[in-house]
Amino acid sequence: MARRIPEDPIVRSIVNMVRSAQFDRRQMLKGAAVGAAGLGALTLASCAPGGGGGAGGGSNAQKLVWGNWTYYLDFNEDTGWYDSLDLFTDETGIAVEYIEDIDDNNTFYGKIKDQLELGQHTGYDVITFTDWMNARLIQAKQVQEFDYANLPNVTANLVDAQLNALDADQGRKFTIPWQLPASCLMWDTEAVPGGIKTLDDFMQPSLKGKVGVLTEMRDTMGIILAGLGYDPAGAWGDKEWGEAIQWLDDGIQSGQIKNVKGNSYTQDLERGDTLAAMVWTGDVVMMNAESPDGPRWTIEVPESGGMIAADSFTIPNGTESAKKKLAEEMINFYYDPEVMAAVADYVTFVPPVKGTQEAMRKLNPENADNPLIFPSDEDWKRLHSFRSLSPEEDKKYSSEFQKVLGL
């Protein structure tokens, strides 16, 4: 059924841009042979029209550099660029060098930690770590405070639940949510017709060597803790953690769990090396859209619970004040519900901007009722946050997790 084009010129422009997008950029990833080890050198780095080369912090005050995760912005296969960034540059004259350079919080932090510790420019004017990593940066005083005079859309439209969701940053002075990824259980519908509803389902003999988990500790361990009957956001301690890490170790040592990946886990699923996995919701929508044989995978919030987090904008120390202001202007742009709807229609993660679902009804009514983008009240009851860890806990648990994963 043909959809009526919205009358609003901005929405109409975005609709036309999104409709023209082709969802096959995975081929670009394959062609680039992106792997965790070489990701930094091989990512889909590009410059906005009119933008020059080189990293930020230089003399061109009308250009900024944004480091982000893959599949996290509305890519247009025809233009080879991002439609919303084009719109931002057209409206403001600000060029953005957009670099998909984050595969994993720890590995990306390792890439820029020396500059952060020295207060030097990292090569990025704005980045989007996950909030637990942002808490570390805040505590280490390695990121700058936002000027909310430049962020009226954020003030008006940040969803209430996110304002104080990060205990290290009450009121979002240093972090502004970009996307809210949920991690759940996914499976190949043909190979696993019975589905994966619980942790025990991962252990079925037919899946030996075909199960994957994420290198993000809080996603993987949060799902395991919930599966063992503990609230990941609650007052669990060493005893509960010990049970969960033992479950993971048993799964890996037995060969049941084979693939442990960051963002690149999608390639294992596409090759059939993984048939069931802990994943991020938006990736599943994207993979099905790009599958030449039609939807192949499905995903559910586990009966025992999945995880919800926030990847948030921060301005690292070393970003000069003029670039910081440009970054704030860009962040404010994305907090327009109609702009965020265009992004959400592509990336299919939960958006942090009020009014996005209403804007989506004009842009793509089918996605306005997509529970992976706009979770139902029942889903929200089963989506947990991971409680904040003390520095001592973080060091201890991270070390044990890395050891079990063999990383």
CA angle 348, 349, 354 (to 5 degrees): 105
pLDDT of residue 138: 95
Give the bridge partners for 32, in sequence order: none
Give the bridge partners for 306, in sequence order: 383
pLDDT of residue 263: 75
3 state DSSP class of 75: strand
337-361 b/e (C-beta count within 10 Å ≥ 16 → b): bbbbbbbbbbbbbbbbbbbbbebbe
Mean pLDDT, each 10-residue run in order, the chain (407 residues) = 35 40 36 29 33 38 90 89 95 96 89 95 96 93 98 96 89 97 92 91 94 93 96 94 97 94 85 93 78 85 90 97 97 98 92 96 93 84 86 93 90
Compute the distance between CA of residue 44 and CA of residue 103 in angstroms, rounded to an integer: 12
Placement of tokens 């080369």 in the chain: 53
pLDDT of residue 332: 98
Compute the distance between CA of residue 119 and CA of residue 116 in angstroms, rounded to an integer: 5
pLDDT of residue 327: 98
| Sequence-ordered strand ranges (E) for 15-91 | 46-47, 63-69, 75-76, 81-82
Compute the distance between CA of residue 152 and CA of residue 40 in angstroms, rounded to an integer: 34
pLDDT of residue 286: 74
Q: Which of 207, 186, 203 is nearest to 195 (CA)?
A: 186
Is there a shared CATH topology between the 64-180+310-373 domain and the 182-308+387-405 domain? Answer: yes
Coarse DSSP helix, strand, coil percentages of the chain, rounded to the nearest 5 percent: 45, 15, 40
Instruction: Tell me yes or no: is domain 64-180+310-373 CATH 3.40.190.10.
Output: yes
What ranges do the domains of the chain cover? 64-180+310-373, 182-308+387-405
Residue 93 token pair: 């004259």
pLDDT of residue 61: 60
pLDDT of residue 26: 35
DSSP annotation string for 162-174: HHT-SGGGTT-SS
pLDDT of residue 324: 97
CATH topology of domain 182-308+387-405: D-Maltodextrin-Binding Protein; domain 2 (3.40.190)
Compute the distance between CA of residue 69 and CA of residue 311 in angstroms, rounded to an integer: 9
Under a CB-based contact definition with an 8 Å cutoff, are residues 181 and 69 in contact? no
**Amino acid letter for position 14:** I
**Residues contacting residue 248 through CB under 8 Å, at least 6 positions apart:** 213, 220, 221, 224, 257, 401, 404
In terms of Cβ atoms closer than 10 Å to its own Cβ (0-12, 13-18, 19+), residue 144 is: middle
pLDDT of residue 60: 53
Placement of tokens 């395991």 in the chain: 224
Residue 38 token pair: 């070489």
